[in-house]
Chain A
Amino acid sequence: GAVVSQHPSRVICKSGTSVKIECRSLDFQATTMFWYRQFPKQSLMLMATSNEGSKATYEQGVEKDKFLINHASLTLSTLTVTSAHPEDSSFYICSAITGGYEQYFGPGTRLTVT
């Protein structure tokens, strides 16, 4: 149980375009989801906390107009990278909470902006 999926697993887009990444909790409802970014050989950096039915809470330094987060249902949160640039290339990981302290992580999405 407690499976989180992400789609797509890999995406390549051209500079200036937007790309949407989906995070789904497959077998539980998640009122809270988190979005992380991971640069090569580095740790995970929390970008934002996504709460169902309300606006996301962004960490300091994360541009909310560039990284649009929508948590429209208890099983789906989306991250849209708008007007992507090569420096946005990264590994994006989401997680979801079932109600305990443990966050269940998705498999990640590798974004490459050319």
Chain B
Amino acid sequence: AQSVTQLDSHVSVSEGTPVLLRCNYSSSYSPSLFWYVQHPNKGLQLLLKYTSAATLVKGINGFEAEFKKSETSFHLTKPSAHMSDAAEYFCVVSEGTSSASKIIFGSGTRLSIRP
């Protein structure tokens, strides 16, 4: 069965410094992996996705993630944090191989940005 672990429940960085949100997964298949962002009382917005193409995936708002099969990781990074990046971030793994497969959410990482 698939699972996903977000290693940090809360990350706090200063504005302008790099962001690293960690995610590890387990999967019986070649997984599809996603990062979503959720601002307070809002729905989820897709940041980026990996579906067996390039291992370094670039997303919106300057975020990117690298799929490392040997480490079963899919960490999310951004070179320079902005105040508007403060939100909850979810790492997600697709459970199966079809487009109608269920997805499994990580527990979430709350990103805070210090002025």
Contact = CB atoms under 8 A, between A and B. Distances in A.
A62 B98 CA distance: 24
Interface residues of A, number: 25
Nearest to B50: A101
Nearest to A57: B102
A108 B42 contact: yes
B107 interface: yes
A99 interface: yes
A107 B42 contact: yes
Contacts of B45: 105
B99 A97 contact: yes
Interface size, B (range): 20 to 34
B14 to A, nearest CB: 23
B12 to A, nearest CB: 16
Interface of B: 32, 34, 36, 41-46, 49, 51, 90, 94, 99-103, 105-108
Interface of A: 6, 31-32, 34, 42-46, 49, 91, 93, 95, 97, 99-108, 110
Closest 3 CB pairs of A and B: A107-B43, A105-B44, A32-B100
Given A42-B107, A108-B43, 10 more contacts: A43-B90, A43-B105, A44-B44, A93-B44, A97-B100, A102-B49, A103-B103, A105-B36, A105-B44, A108-B41
